Amino acid sequence: MATPQVNMAINEPGKDLPRTHKCGKCDKEFHQLSDMKRHLHSHAEKKPLKCEDCGKQFSKLNQLKSHMRTHTGERPYKCEEWSKQFSELCNLKRHMRTHTDEKPYRCDECSKQFSELGSLERHVRIHTGEKPYKCEECSKQFSQLCNLKRHIKTHTGEKPYKCEECSKQFSELCNLNSHMRTHTGEKPYKCDECSKQFSELGSLKSHMRTHTGEKPYRCDECSKQFSQYTTMKRHMSTHTGEKPYRCEECSRQFCALSNLKSHMRIHTVEKPYKCEECSRRFSMLSHLKSHMRTHTGEKPYRCKECSRSFRTSNVLRRHMRTHIDGSSTQVPK
């Protein structure tokens, strides 16, 4: 299948960004000369500045100072709107666009807009299929550097971030931060359409597609489109039969990491999802959502034959058999 040509544009006339500056060491190209010069330091032999905590070395003092904040936890840059604090000025500037809703970078393939050039570049790889980041251990390739770094830890087993509440450990700080909200109940991300709140930004973005109908992920085999990347990946296993995620306890295999994680709670008896009404806990979010309907009375699954409504899809399917085989079995609502 031919690789689509994708251009990246800024939402201003005459502001196309050709990649004109090439690194003489590795042929990597940059839009801005300043970015290329900054990149050149990664090739420089001399890194005279050393972190006394972990031994990591840097070529510039501002890089060392920035790195030191990962040890000290210092966050000197503060958002005046939310009082949220950041360790880097560039992160504060990026965050401020969530208030202004400024999205100057546009994908010419699907017209989706972004607040960051880096976000646009990552998005473009959905269209091109480019995976420039390769694992040296197993040759698996990734479209994003952060995904490669996360994957590398599956080889090293490194989990440096520990929850002070339950001692669970994580390979990524963002995963620890997300996990902490299962203890605090914090849901800082709110949908402007329906006011539903979420503990993670990714969950809000995914939810927003239920309003926009956007389905940016396409299966190369059958062209079916999906609103979630994970759903598309799970669908792909119907073509490949691949089940790469294996339970170390019972050797059962799964096509999706999320399915393995849910399954693992059978062994760990972990129940991270808590009902705020009655404090009952559940191992799976879907079980909590289903349970919540016993409090709200919501019955979103309706029979097209007789208009009866049900709390769960399973009960609706069971009820549908009464129409198919004429059974008189009573099905709970």
Query: pLDDT tens across 25-78, in order?
Result: 777 777 667 677 777 767 765 778 889 888 888 888 888 888 888 888 888 888
Rounded distance between C-alpha atoms, residue 72 and residue 8, angstroms: 38
Residue partners of 231: CB distance under 8 A and separation at least 6: 217
Residue 305 lies in a domain: no
Each residue's pLDDT tens digit, 193-238? 888 888 888 888 888 888 888 888 888 889 889 888 878 877 888 8
Rounded distance between C-alpha atoms, residue 123 and residue 119, angstroms: 6
The answer to whether 303 and 317 have CB atoms below 8 angstroms apart is: no
Residue 66 lies in a domain: yes
Rounded distance between C-alpha atoms, residue 333 and residue 316, angstroms: 8
Residue 286 lies in a domain: no
Cα distances (Å, whole numbers) of residue 267 to 167, 241, 250: 17, 25, 9
85 sits in which H/E element: strand 85-86
pTM for the model? 0.37
Residue 131 lies in a domain: no
Phi and psi torsions of 217, nearest 5°: -105, 120
Residue 26 lies in a domain: no
Residue 65 lies in a domain: yes
Strand extents, DSSP E, 171-213 = 189-190, 197-198
Residue 78 lies in a domain: yes
- CATH code for the domain of 97: 3.30.160.60
Residue 207 lies in a domain: no
Looking at the 3D structure of the chain, how many domains does it have?
1
Domain enclosing residue 67, as ranges: 56-102
- In sequence order, the β-bridge partners of residue 225 are 218
Query: CA nearest 165: which of 150, 179, 186?
Result: 179
